[in-house]
Amino acid sequence: MRSLLRFPLKKTLLGFAVTGAVASAPVQAGEVEVLHWWTSGGEARAANVLKELMEAEGHTWKDFAVAGGGGETAMTVLKSRAMSGNPPSAAQIKGPEIQEWGELGLLGNLDDVAQAEDWDSLLPEVVANIMRHDGHYVAVPVNVHRVNWLWANPQALNKAGVEVPTSIDDMFEIADDLREVGVIPLAHGGQPWQDATVFETVVLAEAGPDFYRRALVELDPEALNSETMIDALTTFKRMRTLMDDGMSGRDWNIATSMVIGGQAAMQLMGDWAKGEFTAAGLTPGEDYICVPAPGTESAFTFNIDSLAMFKARDEEAQAAQDDLARLVLEPTFQEAFNLAKGSIPARSDLDMSAFDSCAQRSMADFKATSENGGLVPSMAHGMAVRASVQGAIFDVVTNFFNDPDMSPEAAAERLANAGSSLL
Ligand code: GAL
* Per-residue pLDDT reduced to its tens digit, 192-251: 999 999 999 999 999 999 999 999 999 999 999 999 999 999 999 999 999 999 999 999
Provide the number of structural domains found in the chain.
2
Q: Tell me if 190 is assigned to some domain.
A: yes
384 pLDDT exceeds 70? yes
Higher-pLDDT residue of 68, 9: 68
User: What pLDDT is stored for residue 420 in this prediction?
Assistant: 87
256 belongs to a structural domain: yes
Amino acid at 29: A
The reply to whether 239 and 261 lie within a common domain is yes
- Give the contacts of 40 (CB within 8 A, at least 6 positions apart): 69, 251, 252, 253, 272, 275, 276
Structural domain harbouring 289 = 146-301+376-421
User: What pLDDT, on a 0 to 100 scale, did the predictor assign at position 278?
Assistant: 98
Q: Is the distance from CB of 261 to CB of 203 less than 8 angstroms?
A: no
Residue among 151, 305, 337 whose CB has most ligand 1 atoms within 8 A, to mutate = 305
Which pTM value belongs to this model? Answer: 0.93
Q: Are residues 324 and 402 in the same domain?
A: no
Pocket flag, ligand 1, residue 303 (CB < 6 Å) = yes
Assigned domain for 396 exists: yes
For residue 5, name the pLDDT band (cuts at 50, 70, 90): very low
Strand order in the sheet with 149-152: 184-186, 264-268, 149-152, 289-292
Residues 260 and 176 in one domain: yes
Please work out whether the CB of residue 188 comes within 6 Å of at least one atom of ligand 1: no
Give the pLDDT confidence score for residue 167 in this predicted structure. 98
Q: What is the pLDDT of residues 328-354, one digit of tens each?
A: 999 999 999 999 999 999 998 999 999
User: Higher-confidence residue: 332 or 20?
Assistant: 332
Cβ of residue 108 lying under 6 Å from some atom of ligand 1: no
Q: Are residues 384 and 246 in the same domain?
A: yes
Mark whether 61 and 124 lie in a shared domain.
yes
Confidence category of residue 29, pLDDT binned at 50, 70, 90? confident
- Using the atom order of ligand 1, give the atom closest to the CA of residue 253: 6
Whether residue 134 is found in the same domain as residue 153: no
User: For residue 68, is it within any domain?
Assistant: yes
The CA 374 to ligand 1 mean position distance, Å, reads 22
Q: Residue 12 above 50 pLDDT?
A: no
The arithmetic mean of pLDDT across residues 389-414, rounded, is: 98
Instruction: Calculate how far, in angstroms, residue 177's C-alpha sits from the geometric centre of ligand 1.
Output: 32
Read off the amino acid at residue 136.
Answer: H
Task: State the average pLDDT for the chain.
Answer: 93
pLDDT band at 25 (very low <50, low <70, confident <90, very high): very low
Distance from the Cα of residue 139 to its chain's centroid: 16
In a domain, 2, yes or no: no
**Residue 95 Cβ < 6 Å to ligand 1:** no
189 CB within 6 A, ligand 1? no
Q: Is the CB of 221 under 6 A from ligand 1?
A: no
Final residue in a domain of this structure, among 339, 355, 370 = 370
64 Cα: distance to centroid of ligand 1 (angstroms): 15
Q: Do 322 and 411 belong to one domain?
A: no
Sign for the pseudo-dihedral over CA of 408, 412, 415, 421: negative
394 lies in some domain: yes
Query: Ligand 1, closest atom to CA 43?
Result: 10
Closest C-alpha among 308, 275, 302 to residue 382: 302
Give the separation between CA 270 and CA 305, rounded to whole angstroms. Answer: 12
- Asked whether residue 3 is domain-assigned, the answer is no
Q: Are residues 98 and 44 in the same domain?
A: yes
Domain annotation covers residue 39: yes
Ligand 1 neighbourhood includes 381 CB (under 6 angstroms): yes
Residue 184: strand, helix, or coil? strand
- Tell me: pLDDT of 11 over 60: no
- The reply to whether ligand 1 has any atom less than 6 angstroms from the CB of 302 is no
Could you give the percent of the chain with pLDDT greater than 70?
Answer: 93
| Whether residue 293 is found in the same domain as residue 404 | yes
Calpha distance 171→163 (Å, rounded): 10
Q: What is the mean pLDDT of residues 4-29?
A: 38
pLDDT reading at 179 higher than 60: yes
Mutation test residue for ligand 1: of 272, 304, 306, 379, the one with most atoms within 8 Å of CB: 272
Given a cut of 50, whether residue 305 has pLDDT beyond it is yes
Q: Please work out whether the CB of residue 301 comes within 6 Å of at least one atom of ligand 1.
A: no
In 147-304, which residue ranges form alpha helices assigned H by DSSP? 154-159, 168-180, 192-212, 221-224, 227-238, 252-261, 272-279
**How many A from CA of 304 to the centre of ligand 1?**
9
Q: Are 159 and 135 members of one domain?
A: no
Q: 272 CA to middle of ligand 1, Å? A: 7
Rounded Cα gap, residues 113 and 215, in angstroms: 37
Residues 247 and 310 in one domain: no
Residue 106 burial (CB count, 10 A):
16
Cβ atoms 393, 195 nearer than 8 A = no
Same domain, 290 and 348: no
Whether the pLDDT of residue 303 is over 80: the answer is yes
pLDDT single digits (tens) 258-298: 999 999 999 999 999 999 999 999 999 999 999 999 999 99
Domain boundary among 370, 389, 404: 370
CA atoms within 13 A on the CB side of 31: 6
For position 28, what pLDDT does the model report?
64
Rounded to the nearest whole angstrom, what is the distance from the C-alpha of residue 316 to the centroid of ligand 1?
Answer: 30
Distance CA 383, CA 303 (A): 6
* Cα–Cα nearest to 141, from 343, 358, 310: 343
* CATH code, 334: 3.40.190.10
Q: Which residues of 282-302 are buried (b: 16+ CB within 10 A; e: fewer)?
A: eebeeebbbbbbbbbeebbbb
Closest approach atom of ligand 1 to CA 193: 7
Query: Closest Cα to atom 6, ligand 1: which residue?
Result: 69
- 5 burial level (CB within 10 Å; 0-12, 13-18, 19+): middle
Q: Determine if ligand 1 sits within 6 Å of the CB of residue 38.
A: yes
* Long-range contacts at 243-247 (CB < 8 A, ≥ 24 apart): 243/184, 243/185, 243/186, 243/187, 243/188, 244/184, 244/187, 244/188, 247/188, 247/189, 247/190
Closest residue by Cα to atom 5, ligand 1, is 70
Kindly give the number of the ligand 1 atom that is closest to the alpha carbon of 272: 4
